[in-house]
Structure 1
Amino acid sequence: MKISLEKIENNTAHLKFEVDEEQFEKAMEQAYRKSVKRFVIPGFRRGKAPRKLIEMHYGPEVFYEDAAQIILPEVYKQGVEEYHLEPVDQPKYDIEQIEKGKPMIATAEVTVRPEVKLKEYKGLEVEKVVYNVTDEDVEKELAALQEKNARLIAVEDRPAQKGDIAVIDFDGKVDDKPFEGGKAENYPLELGSGVFIEGFEEQVIGMNPGEKKDINVTFPKDYKVENLAGKPAVFSVTLKELKKKELSPLDDEFAKDVSEFDTLEELKNDIKNKLIERAKAVEEGSLKASIIDKLMETTEVDIPHVMVDMEIDRLIMDFAINLKMRGYDLKTYMEATKITPQEFRERFHEKAHVNVKSSLILEEVARREGITVTDEETDAEIQKYADLAHKTIEEYKKNLKPEDISGIKDTILTKKIFDFLISNAKITEKKPEDIKKEQEQENSSKEEDYPKPEESPIEDASK
């Protein structure tokens, strides 16, 4: 058998195979044994007809397709290994010659991993956003917890005001016609939450329980329902009930009611510890993002479209799973948003391109630095999951698929790559307020580059 690499062009490898007569004959025999039961020859029980007799009735080419399906994956695998190719897609075969008593000649085209032109990746100058958790942050979390656990008290002696819960019936119309989603009963609306169209909640403020009122609003021009976008609407609203929130005092009893702690101080400490953990995760994420951004700027790579398409497929699958967890499905979502399949895929294109490029960059760093994952490291990570599930590692492994273990290895490898990059980076720590100031200064300098229009009485009156 002869295997040659004809060329690699535009991330596509072209392999050529010449399978000698003896090897091709073996594949033909395997094809006969695989498919003999399909043939009915007079005088023979099903599956017992000799190969020569079948070929006499149907022609020798009757086994060619099955023989090719048997032998091509084998020779392709050898070619990939011999020329150290890294395929990222399935090959496309083309048979140039297939005839009994002659060598089989075929070609395969396959998209391969692109060359990553990675420049300097050590000593990267990157920024890390540092978040300091303050007592004020803890108080804000406590206030949110207090708000979440507030009691609702009926209000009857005053009009509705911002912060109240207004229980309303509403019936909306556009061009004097009802529209889908424009009607509800006993809807609890927190005034000032901004949940409804701009101007709606402001007009409910001041209403008294039992009062009816027509509310006029205009849908935003970019409203997600196309036939309502930019159109005026009238809602007939009845304020059925009015409630206000009553906050519990922040004391030990509050801590006992909303948590497993006995004192408010213990609850505060727990909140602070969780905020610190969250801050560290955000800091680490900002640092990794800064590193990736630097590497993306300086790295050249011609990404095959098939890799982007596969990543889009993965992102869509994740999106569909998230929808399902919330009680929806992808088909209903696309019908509701009136988006075509092609438009939907296009929404994921940029993110998919970034994901693929960043993955290729990290893989290239690992290749150059010899960063790998050992079986011991993999088992140590699996052990953590097993401990959480209160199982032995052997019991836990029984339920793992090969792709699960591959995913665990990828997670470990990614962490090791980032650990290497971070340990070799020049890191500048900045606070969020410092970055905000820099952005404001940058925006200010950009504005100064352009002449400012003179103030117009009309523009001023319209503000």
Structure 2
Amino acid sequence: MKISVRNLEPTKVKLTVTVDPEEFEPYLDEARKEIAKQANIPGFRKGHVPAKLIEQRYGFAGIAGEAVNNAVPELYSKALEEKKIRPMAQPELDVQEVPASSKDETKLKFIATVERRPDINLPKLDGMEIAIAKPEVKDEDVNARLESLRQRFGTLVGVDRPAAKGDFANIDLDAQIDGESVDSQEGVSYELGSGTMLDGLDEALEGLSAGEETTFEGTLEAGEHEGEKAQIKVKVNSVKAEELPELDDEFAQEASEFDTLEELKEDIRKNAADAAKGRQATDARDAFIAKLQEELEIPVPKGVKASMVEEHLKGMTPDPEKATKEQKAEAEEQVEKELRDQMTLDALAEMLDVQVSQADVFNFLASIAQQYGMDPNNFIQAIVRNGQLGSAVQEVGRSKGLLAGMRAVKFTADGEEVDLSAFLGEDDEEADSVEAASAAAAVADELANADAE
């Protein structure tokens, strides 16, 4: 097999593959056998029809077509491996030449155009030192968590005064276009200042008391008239304020298993410290990847980027075609970073010769299934059925490479070495990846989308 490679772009190549007759012949033989299994020729049992008779009956073109369908994907994969090309998308395959008969010396020739991962020359890990911030828990952090817990035990009480930010108003809404009602809702509970409904609603409600109403102009965000301007009539039925419990021992007993407020605060401080250490591990991961990329120019495949940007926009706006310039710019920035990080971790896994076992992949998928409350066996079967096993293998490889790479370097905070073994584990044991959550969500969401389609 002769393979020529032409670089079209830094991340796109064109492979021309020419296959010698002796290498193509096994595929022709296999095609003849497959056709013979289905052939119904008097005097012969299925699967026992001579090859020459099959060729006479069905023609060489039909046999060659079946052989090409099987040969091209396999030979394409071999060509990638031989030339050390790492594809990042499905190829465009174009069969150029096929022998016209069993005696024809024309060689099978096809062209594959594919977006690829660029060559990435990572720095050596030996002696690499990365500075990260020291985790700290401030009194403000403890107070914020305590206040959040306090709000969970708050109650709403009616007040006889104008609505203000933080109050909850029970409202009726009626949207009109050209004097005609196009949408209306009654008895909606809305927190002033939350900004979770129509633009302009907060300003319209502030200062209104129960029984009062007003009209403002707003843009409808859903329904048949989405995106259109409308006159919104809003009436306040009632105003309620949140009443929070006193911060004392009685509250501690009601909100937790502790007897005193001081014990509760100490537990909150401990949990905040644990969370700070987790954030430090995440910071270390980001700093490690940034260090690897520090002096590298990593181009991203244009087609893969465009496809991923489109998917990102679907999560940002109901109609990606109407996405704003800001949304498009944000999606492109996120996708470029995601792609560069993925390619960097793929290159790292190769540099460290990371091996992914079947058990690694199944454990990874089982952990995802558990996170999403799915049966592990059904989830794994669905992954295989939807052709996503390769993506799972790649994610595991990236995760293992990341952990191995982070174990190989030194992290410091204020000049002191940081021990991240609780998050990274040891070389010979499994550990929770600091990016397992995002990887799990990506694979699970992809599966959910596939099932929905």
TM-score (norm 1): 0.67
Higher Cα Rg, which structure: 1
Q: Is 1:134 paired with 2:138?
A: yes
Query: 2:344: which partner in 1?
Result: 361
Q: How much identity, in percent, do the aligned residues show?
A: 25
Q: Structure 2 CA distance, aligned partners of 1:113 and 1:228? A: 41
Q: Structure 2 CA distance, aligned partners of 1:154 and 1:384? A: 49
Q: What aligned pairs does 1:15-26 form with structure 2 within 5 A after superposition?
A: 15-21=16-22, 23-26=23-26
Q: CA deviation at 1:397?
A: 12
Q: Structure 2 CA distance, aligned partners of 1:376 and 1:24? A: 32
Q: Is 1:163 paired with 2:166?
A: yes
Q: CA deviation at 1:191?
A: 3.0
SS of aligned partner of 1:282: helix
Query: 2:270: which partner in 1?
Result: 273
Change (3 A) 1:199 1:131: farther
Per-residue deviation, residues 11-35 of structure 1 (Å, max 9, x unmatched)? 42524333235x5444323212212
Query: 2:65: which partner in 1?
Result: 65
Query: 1:27: which partner in 2?
Result: 27
**1:200–1:215: 8 Å Cα contact kept in structure 2?**
no
Q: What aligned pairs does 1:82-231 form with structure 2 within 5 A after superposition?
A: 82-91=82-91, 92-98=93-99, 99-103=101-105, 104-111=107-114, 112-118=116-122, 128-130=132-134, 132-155=136-159, 157-180=160-183, 183-197=184-198, 200-209=201-210, 211-217=211-217, 219=219, 231=229
Q: Structure 1 CA distance, aligned partners of 2:90 and 2:358? A: 32
Change (3 A) 1:149 1:58: same
Query: 1:350: which partner in 2?
Result: 333
**1:118–1:298: 8 Å Cα contact kept in structure 2?**
no
Q: Is 1:372 paired with 2:354?
A: yes
Change (3 A) 1:232 1:29: closer
SS of aligned partner of 1:243: strand
The number of equivalent residue pairs is 396
Structure with bigger RCO (C-alpha 8 Å, 6+ apart): 1
**1:41–1:54: 8 Å Cα contact kept in structure 2?**
no
Query: 1:55: which partner in 2?
Result: 55
Q: Structure 2 CA distance, aligned partners of 1:293 and 1:205? A: 46
Q: What aligned pairs does 1:240-251 form with structure 2 within 5 A after superposition?
A: 240-251=237-248
Q: What aligned pairs does 1:36-47 form with structure 2 within 5 A after superposition?
A: 36-41=36-41
The two structures, once aligned, show a CA RMSD in angstroms of: 4.7
Q: Is 1:416 paired with 2:404?
A: yes
**1:371–1:417: 8 Å Cα contact kept in structure 2?**
no
TM-score (norm 2): 0.69
SS of aligned partner of 1:167: strand
Q: CA deviation at 1:250?
A: 1.9
Per-residue deviation, residues 361-390 of structure 1 (Å, max 9, x unmatched)? 34444545x36357699599879969x99x
Runs of 5+ consecutive residues of structure 1 not aligned to the other structure: 324-329, 390-394, 430-463
The residue type paired with residue 417 of structure 1 is: G
Query: 1:434: which partner in 2?
Result: none
Q: Structure 1 CA distance, aligned partners of 2:72 and 2:304? A: 24
Q: Structure 1 CA distance, aligned partners of 2:29 and 2:149? A: 74
The residue type paired with residue 205 of structure 2 is: V
Greater displacement, 133-142 / 402-411: 402-411
**1:173–1:233: 8 Å Cα contact kept in structure 2?**
yes
Q: Is 1:334 paired with 2:331?
A: no
**1:117–1:300: 8 Å Cα contact kept in structure 2?**
no
Runs of 5+ consecutive residues of structure 2 not aligned to the other structure: 372-376, 417-453
**1:122–1:425: 8 Å Cα contact kept in structure 2?**
no
The residue type paired with residue 372 of structure 1 is: V
Q: Structure 2 CA distance, aligned partners of 1:376 and 1:265? A: 49
Q: Structure 1 CA distance, aligned partners of 2:109 and 2:26? A: 17
SS of aligned partner of 1:300: coil
Q: CA deviation at 1:171?
A: 1.8
Per-residue deviation, residues 121-168 of structure 1 (Å, max 9, x unmatched)? 88889763445312232112211221222112233x444444332212
The residue type paired with residue 201 of structure 1 is: D
Query: 2:2: which partner in 1?
Result: 4
